[in-house]
Amino acid sequence: MLQPVSDLPVEQLIFYAVLGFSWTVYLWEAYLSYRQRRIYRSTTHVPQELGKIMDSDTFEKSRLYQLDKSNFSFWSGLYSETEGTLILLLGGIPFLWAVAGSVTARFGFGSEYEITQSLVFLTLATLFSAVTGLPWSLYSTFIIEEKHGFNQQTIGFFLKDAVKKFVVTQCILLPVTSLLLYIIKIGGDYFFIYAWLFTLAVSLVLVTIYADYIAPLFDKFTPLPEGELKTDIETMAKSISFPLTKVYVVEGSKRSSHSNAYFYGFFKNKRIVLFDTLLEDYSPLNKSGEPQPEQPESEDTSSESKAKPKNKKQGCNNPEILAVLGHELGHWKLGHTVKNIVISQMNSFLCFSLFAVLIGRKELFVAFGFDDSQPTLIGLMIIFQFIFSPYNELLSFCLTVLSRRFEFQADAFARGMGKASELYSALIKLNKDNLGFPVADWLFSMWHYSHPPLLERLRALGNAKQD
């Protein structure tokens, strides 16, 4: 006979509530993906509204690409949810904690060395995640991305890159975690304030050093050559008082033919990074009879990447690149970057404050198999990952809505700079280059799209373009 829910111990109620919410989110996501897959399957011809924007060949390619990605996402999501459920039901977290304790004990560290055991636990957990995720990543890269012409990596490059990412992640994660745990241990009643300030400092340092010291470990960055494009970028930055110091081109083509651009840096030290795949006259993936600008030498090119020329030019011309950067600089000028940082840190402070209230509740630990100990790292995992999951879902949706609003504002900023026509054509080109499917289910796009659908952005730009 089943026991009434009201009679269950609070620990079991917590456990089953976490598990139930996790599956509720998964089923909701699966339902949204099903709605979008139905769009991919049924929309086989270019809608009339898109007739002047996308040819039928590109439309079909994008439809099949997005359908493959959606099907892959369904199976990988089902695996991930099942794996997480089994880990919880079979006591995988306390088991791995015990294994970490056994490892540290072999080196003479007893249970009083909680931080040391926590670091071993974290290493084992991230290693498990990397190993179980590797087949899915391989399939995504060498089956789906390869099939649709985006992958530029070899197996050797991919595996070396994966090992390098794991090592670099551990070199950052382990010292930061050990210091955070130490701060929580010695911080007293106000430890949550010190912990928040520490994570704030770490995030600012990582943002500052990422592009200069971390990203170059994986991709080659070279200064944009002197010429018309660089001069125009500097002139545009100066016109809005953007403190630009350097413009880089990153060799993204050795990894993928997807394109991107971004800026980084604090205060008076801003830098712009352009993917070589974004630059029509710079991308090694373009096949043209015209002489291409001299490419920087790279020892990786011949053996680790396989740049495959395309029959048509990829990327944007110089005026379109300036329009894309006008959009990106609009995020800076309108304060979107600062607003996102403020929102992130307010959320971080709130979470640490609630963590301080909940960390002493033994039933939270017992619910997940920790009857005799209350490790701080496990408390962080339980509270931030499981207990806060409903709040995290709501926050994620709100940030998605805010992001779409920011994107429209940045488009309007570029339009105000007189670049509506160039941005209009750039968005179409980028959508084609990345095989974005321009038709979306309204509920799926509302929940998932951090950028407005292409047609909505083009409509917003259209009037100014016609003027």
**Helix/strand/coil for 277:** helix
Cβ neighbours for 264, distance < 8 A, ≥ 6 positions apart: 207, 210, 211, 270, 271, 273
Helix/strand/coil percent split, the chain, to 5: 70, 5, 25
Quick one: DSSP state of residue 91?
T
Catalytic residue among 114, 145, 411, 441: 411
Catalytic residue among 68, 234, 328, 456: 328
Lay out the sheet containing 221-223: strands in order across.
Answer: 221-223, 244-250, 270-275, 261-264
- Mark the binding-site residues, compressed into ranges: 327, 331, 407
Question: Catalytic: 422?
Answer: no
Tokens 């391989």: give the residue. 138
Q: Which helix (H) or strand (E) holds 99?
A: helix 92-106
Question: Catalytic: 290?
Answer: no
Q: What gap in Å lies between CA 97 and CA 75, rounded to an integer? A: 29
Q: What gap in Å lies between CA 89 and CA 221, rounded to an integer? A: 46
Phi first, then psi: what are they for 222, rounded to 5°? -130, 145
- Mark the binding-site residues for Zn(2+), compressed into ranges: 327, 331, 407
Do residues 359 and 376 touch, judged by C-beta distance below 8 A?
yes
Three-state SS letters, 404-460: HHHHHHHHHHHHHCCCHHHHHHHHHHHHHHCCCCCCCCHHHHHHHCCCCCHHHHHHH
Give catalytic residue positions: 328, 411
